[in-house]
């Protein structure tokens, strides 16, 4: 099982969460909530209002999200869903645990108790330079005050 940190449309209550709970894609078990140890710019960009974490460590905010334990099948699905490696790249990042529900072995419990876990995150280093000038968020909600509702893939032209 791999650990994945999601910060955008795959979180609970967000437009693509359905993919995280669809067992046809593989298994994903919610472990807890966290935020990036380093600051990153989280922007909402493009005509479909997609959230992107720009891989510029030290800039932006400590980004909030959810930690999942996923099997190999789900990891493969997420790679494809996230357009990896062209649109997003899957990289390991250090995540500060804020709330932990995970049930695992002693090693996992110890790691969570220490408060920092290494998780795969889909961020991007392949973005138009003007995105750096967009507003940065510390948390994503498709129906947030920003007014930039995510456009589902099935609704795109």
Q: Where are the domains of the chain?
A: 2-133
Burial status of residue 105 (CB atoms within 10 A of its CB: 0-12, 13-18, 19 or more) = exposed
Helices (H), the chain: 17-20, 72-81, 106-114
Residues identified as active-site: 82
Q: Which residues pair with 100 in a beta bridge?
A: 32
Compute the Cα dihedral for 135, 125, 36, 59 and give only its sign: negative
Which pLDDT score, from 0 to 100, does residue 109 have? 52
For position 135, what pLDDT does the model report? 97
Q: Is the CATH number of domain 2-133 3.30.429.10?
A: no
Strand pairing partners for 2? Answer: 70
Characterize the bridge pairing of strands 64-70 and 89-100.
unpaired
Closest CA to 41 of 10, 5, 7: 7
Contact 34, 97 (CB under 8 A): yes
In this prediction, residue 84 carries a pLDDT of 94
**Residue 153's pLDDT is what?**
82
| pLDDT at 157 (0 to 100) | 77
Mean pLDDT for each 10-residue chunk of the chain (157 residues)? 97 97 96 96 95 97 97 98 95 92 58 79 96 97 93 84
Q: What was the pLDDT predicted at 155?
A: 87
Full-model pTM: 0.91
Distance CA 114, CA 109 (A): 9
Asked if residues 8 and 19 have their Cβ atoms less than 8 Å apart, the reply is no
Which residue shows structure tokens 């990153």? 40
């Amino acid at each position: 099982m791999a650990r994945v940190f999601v910060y955008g449309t795959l979180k609970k209550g967000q437009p693509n969460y359905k993919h995280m709970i669809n067992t046809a894609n593989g298994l994903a078990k919610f472990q807890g909530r966290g935020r990036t140890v380093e600051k990153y710019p989280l922007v909402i960009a493009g005509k479909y209002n997609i959230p992107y974490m720009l891989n510029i460590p030290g800039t932006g905010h400590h980004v909030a999200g959810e930690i999942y334990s996923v099997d190999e099948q789900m990891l493969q699905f997420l790679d494809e869903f996230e357009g990896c490696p062209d649109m997003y790249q899957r990289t390991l990042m250090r995540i500060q645990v804020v709330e932990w529900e995970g049930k695992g072995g002693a090693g996992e419990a110890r790691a969570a108790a220490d408060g920092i876990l290494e998780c795969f995150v889909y961020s991007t280093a392949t973005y138009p330079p003007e995105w750096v000038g967009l507003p940065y968020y510390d948390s994503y909600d498709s129906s947030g005050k920003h007014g930039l509702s995510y456009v589902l893939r099935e609704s795109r032209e």
